[in-house]
Structure 1
Amino acid sequence: IVNYEKQLDKSYKWYADLGIHSVKTGYAGGLPNGHNHHGQYNVRHYRKVVKTAAKYHTTLDVHEPIKDTGIRRTYPNMMTREGARGMEWNAWSEGNPPEHHVLLPFTRLLSGPMDYTPGIFDILYERAKKSPYRKKWNMKDSKDCRINSTLAKQIANWVILYSPLQMAADMIENYEGHPAFQFFRDFDADCDWSEALAGEPGEYVVIVRRAGDKYFLGAATNEDAREVTVKLDFLETDKTYRAVIYADGKEADWITNPTAYEIIEKQVTAEDILSVDMARGGGQAITFMPL
């Protein structure tokens, strides 16, 4: 951090001169002189970085940050941040349990956007574990690591875990030719309106967001399979929508069959009611596009 601050103004000016106005930073590891990530030392540092970035019209996505405090109201260039156990935690530990994703909307996300980096398709790291470069690190041998959700829930988390910037964080090879990647192409993270439709902390959650004339719904559950009935009265009443549903497959289960999914299309209106079926540790994502 000391080295970073010495170059701070020069670095952000250099980026701005190159036409680069978005920066992702990270602070993994220890801090100088025994300081911790949430102490006054880092509070002052983060504020200095945010102000410097604002000076050069640059937005920030910060990992290993201090907790969100509402600073975005003064400095809206503080676009999003991590600030809780995100996706990377699954790389070297027991991972985040299924209940984690349905607890965050009631806790961490109340303070502001979170760059969780959801959307992993190689749930069991089948491709990653074949790499000769993957080794034991931190707490756990890599052969024991995995994502504790279904594939459909990974897609749903793009809607549920709000961030105005979403990152397709998996290896490109795991997305190439995958039909479910179409959701990411259709999705717009810069939403104009959001509403929580149903949920209980640590149990399940259903959230819908609108961006322009499209709506996106995300639903997720904990370790229990669940069926939730959702009224579509949030849609505009004078329009018919093409709903593309990314759902858990009939035999999906976050432990035994996490990658089973299906894509269903239907036409719906604001008068319709959908039954959202979720497997254990699963979820469902829906794109509504006006016809």
Structure 2
Amino acid sequence: MVSQTAQCLLFPSGLVTLPDMPDAYRRKADLFEFIGQLPMNWDETKVLEAEIGKYITLARKAGDAWFVGALADEQGRKTSITLDFLEEGITYDATLYEDAPDAHYEYIGPMNKREARAQKTELKPQQTRRELYQVKKTTAKKGDSIPVTIAPGGGHCMWIRP
């Protein structure tokens, strides 16, 4: 789910579409806080790190606020985002939208009856773990380093404001 939220920042569009039911949106109001703050125009954009096909971390500024989005491929990723782009001498409030420690883009287990029999396990309907996330609030200043763990196929977002 954080991956889809980060995609709203990384791939701006006049039409944001997230595949879910309206009731699910109410249960994820904290993630929609990030999406709701995204402006349509940016004053500045910085690519913080990227390797084609593997990962990307991008920071965009609008007014005094910065929005950071990161995505990773199916391998996931551990990294740190250094906040060198912030203004010196200002303390910022930062909200981090992160994949939960056990998040994963695919269901780990038997996908059909044949696989379940081969694994000698019962096939039970289960949700994937791509929906699992956590939201943290902290403060930050120029030069701080934020540790980031991106689940396989996941994402990470930050909303940073003075």
TM over 0.5: yes
Paired amino acid for 1:212: G
The equivalent position to 2:11 in structure 1, one of 144, 155, 161, is: 161
The equivalent position to 2:80 in structure 1, one of 220, 223, 229, is: 229
- Alignment correspondent of 1:265: 137
Alignment of 1:32-181 (within 5 A): 151-163=1-13, 165-170=14-19, 171-178=21-28, 179-181=30-32
- Alignment correspondent of 2:49: 198
What SS does the corresponding residue of 2:71 show, helix, strand or coil?
strand
- Change beyond 3 A, Cα 1:174–1:267: same
- Alignment correspondent of 2:111: none
- Change beyond 3 A, Cα 1:287–1:166: farther
Task: Tell me how far apart the structure 1 counterparts of residues 135 and 51 of structure 2 sit (CA, whole Å).
Answer: 26
Paired amino acid for 1:154: Q
Task: Tell me how far apart the structure 2 counterparts of residues 246 and 273 of structure 1 sit (CA, whole Å).
Answer: 16
Aligned residues of 2:4 and 2:18 also touching (Cα < 8 A): no
- Greater RCO, CA 8 A, separation 6+: 2
Aligned residues of 1:195 and 1:208 also touching (Cα < 8 A): yes
- Alignment correspondent of 1:18: none
Superimposed CA distance per residue, residues 223-247 of structure 1 (whole angstroms, 9 cap, x where no aligned partner): 1021122110101112111110110
Task: Tell me how far apart the structure 1 counterparts of residues 76 and 18 of structure 2 sit (CA, whole Å).
Answer: 26
| CA-based RMSD | 1.4
- Alignment correspondent of 1:217: 68
Task: Tell me how far apart the structure 2 counterparts of residues 286 and 166 of structure 1 sit (CA, whole Å).
Answer: 21
Task: Tell me how far apart the structure 1 counterparts of residues 155 and 133 of structure 2 sit (CA, whole Å).
Answer: 10
The alpha carbon displacement at 1:204 in A equals: 0.3
TM normalised by structure 2 equals 0.80
What SS does the corresponding residue of 1:155 show, helix, strand or coil?
helix
Superimposed CA distance per residue, residues 116-164 of structure 1 (whole angstroms, 9 cap, x where no aligned partner): xxxxxxxxxxxxxxxxxxxxxxxxxxxxxxxxxxx1111111111133x
TM normalised by structure 1 equals 0.46
- Alignment correspondent of 1:184: 35
- Alignment correspondent of 1:242: 93
Task: Tell me how far apart the structure 1 counterparts of residues 12 and 35 of structure 2 sit (CA, whole Å).
Answer: 14
What SS does the corresponding residue of 1:281 show, helix, strand or coil?
coil
* Higher relative helix content: 1
The equivalent position to 1:277 in structure 2, one of 123, 131, 149, is: 149
Q: Which structure's CA Rg is the greater one?
A: 1
Task: Tell me how far apart the structure 1 counterparts of residues 94 and 40 of structure 2 sit (CA, whole Å).
Answer: 18
Aligned residues of 1:242 and 1:268 also touching (Cα < 8 A): yes
Structure 2 unmatched ranges of 5 or more: 108-128
